[in-house]
Amino acid sequence: MKFHNTPLAGAHVIEQEKRGDDRGFFARYFCEQEFAANGLETRFVQINNSLSRQKGTLRGLHYQLPPAAEVKVVRCVRGALWDAIVDLRPDSPTYRKWYGAELTADNRLMMYVPRGFAHAILTLSDDAEAIYLVSTFYGPEQERGLRWDDPAIGIAWPTVPAEVSSKDAAWPDFDPAFHGVDLMRGLP
């Protein structure tokens, strides 16, 4: 596996190294030793699967407050999506900055989303499917989100979302009090 730094502290795009022959190929999705050697989370408690039928479907921006703050490793397994992350750790040099990358079934890239980051996917194809490793169980009382088009964050989405759930559309603009910024202090 190749671990590529993103402009955001602690976030990575992970590239699978394929070993192949005329039958096809083999590649790792996760390796505890390689993740540990790169200083990344190695304990995951869930593997989640999402399918979005319509191109332009937005899911996010979501995250969880401590003690349920989570690491995610996201991979698109069918179609294409654009993965966006926002650093919400006030002690971070990239606090309130965002980054986005195209993840497709063909490029097999993965996004490593650290604790203290908001995360969203925007589908770039119909029937886009993603799987993601999650380090912490879902804690509904710790769930938070940001409005996808919050001008204070200013994400340059590749296209305007065609489908946003009522829950995701109702998230507020960034507000340190609501978004638990003090609780994010000191997260790795």
What pLDDT does 93 receive? 96
* Marked catalytic residue, from 12, 62, 119, 179: 62
* Marked catalytic residue, from 63, 99, 112, 132: 132
- Is the preceding peptide bond at 65 cis, omega within 30 degrees of 0? no
Beta-strand relationship, 57-64 and 12-15: unpaired
What one-letter code names the amino acid at 132? Y
CA distance linking residue 24 with residue 21, whole number of Å = 6
Q: Residue 134 belongs to what domain range?
A: 2-184
Contact 169, 175 (CB under 8 A): no
Q: How many domains does the chain have?
A: 1
What pLDDT does 182 receive? 86
58: which 2 tokens? Answer: 């937005």
Contacts for 180 with CB less than 8 Å, ≥ 6 apart: 65, 66, 144
Q: Is 63 a catalytic site residue?
A: no
Q: Could you list the pLDDT tens digit for every one of the 188 residues in the chain?
A: 999 999 999 999 999 998 988 998 888 899 999 999 999 999 999 999 999 999 999 999 999 999 999 999 999 999 999 999 999 999 999 999 999 999 999 999 999 999 999 999 999 999 999 999 999 999 999 999 999 999 999 999 999 999 999 999 999 999 888 888 888 998 88
User: What CATH code is carried by the domain that includes residue 178?
Assistant: 2.60.120.10
What pLDDT does 183 receive? 86
Q: Is 62 a catalytic site residue?
A: yes
CA distance linking residue 8 with residue 87, whole number of Å = 7
What one-letter code names the amino acid at 162? A
